[in-house]
Amino acid sequence: MERYGFVGIIIHKELTSGVEVQKILSEYSHIILGRMGIPSVEDGSISVITLIVKTSTDELGALTGKLGKLNGVNVKSGLCKL
């Protein structure tokens, strides 16, 4: 069952995981309804990406699992209850 939800991604800039994050997001573009990114927060040490998604719990887990394995990337997500 597909549900609406969000994914919050924080990328630590001193590490080079940004390209890998983009590859993973492209792979899962079919579940992404909207995306907003802040390229550098305050001193430029982190970037923030938020996603609005429509997906199953399994597919959301696959996406966040791949992102969470990347060095210097923190991920949080949630799905609404219907």
In terms of C-beta distances under 8 Å and separation of at least 24 residues, what long-range contacts does 76-82 make, across chains too? 76/7, 76/8, 77/5, 77/6, 77/7, 77/8, 77/53, 78/5, 78/6, 79/3, 79/4, 79/5, 79/55, 80/3, 80/4, 80/5, 81/3, 82/1, 82/3
pLDDT band with cut points at 50, 70 and 90 for residue 65: very high
- pLDDT one-digit tens code per residue, 5-54: 999 999 987 666 788 999 999 999 999 999 999 887 677 788 999 999 99
Single pTM value for the model: 0.89
Structural domains in the chain plus CATH codes: 3-79 (3.30.70.1150)
